[in-house]
Amino acid sequence: MNNLLLYHEKLLQEVLRIAVSTSLFAGLPHKSVEFLEESLKHTPPKVTSPVYPPYYLWIYKGVDELLFLGDVEAAKNSNTMAANWADTYPENDRFNSKAVAQRRRQTVKFLEENPDSRAAQIGAWSQILSNANSQEMIEQVLAQIQALGGEVYFDSDGNLRVRVPEWID
């Protein structure tokens, strides 16, 4: 990947779209994390962009790491990096980057105090389930939900439902 490619603001936006699509619609959050890691190698902390600043790459990576992969330490690192990159922007920029940096640091603190993210993970996998487009993906997602302690059942109308038991969180 050419370093100049991700400097282009539209490509930065497309990287974020591909990452979301890979996680939510393809059901492959681990591939999204790999893609974002590679993209981050070629992206400077500060790029002029009309849509999203590059620290959003770290934010999206942290979301995948926490919600889909359950890797709290990696999510803390990604949120710390997002905060560090957001802090390079001037006060009162149009992205409100200083506030983003503060929220990312609050997220890290929250994760340090509350490392069990199973309820959030079950919710995230349920979102993938609603977008599943093959029996194989449905089975994979159901296995993830059940491995996290989620309960899968059919309601009286025959609709597949997911419930987070009270003992989680």
Query: Of 72, 93, 113, which residue is a domain's last?
Result: 113
Q: What is the pLDDT of residues 39-86, one digit of tens each?
A: 999 888 988 777 889 999 999 999 999 999 999 999 999 999 999 999
Number of domains within the chain: 2
pLDDT of residue 117: 86
Q: Are residues 133 and 101 in the same domain?
A: no
Residue 168 lies in a domain: no
CA 44 to CA 62: how far, in whole Å?
18
Residues 20 and 79 both lie in one domain: yes
Q: Are residues 135 and 64 in the same domain?
A: no
Question: What is the span of the domain harbouring residue 79?
Answer: 5-113
pTM, two decimals, is 0.83
**Are 109 and 124 in the same domain?**
no
87-91, 99-103, 112-116, 150-154: least confidently modelled range: 112-116
Is 126 found in the same domain as 98? no
Whether 92 is in a domain gets the answer yes
Residues 81 and 61 in one domain: yes
Same domain for 26 and 40, yes or no, is: yes
Question: Is 124 in the same domain as 103?
Answer: no
Asked if residue 22 is part of any domain, the answer here is yes
Q: Are residues 71 and 134 in the same domain?
A: no
**Residue 53 domain flag:** yes
Instruction: Examine residue 148 and state whether it is found in any structural domain, yes or no.
Output: yes
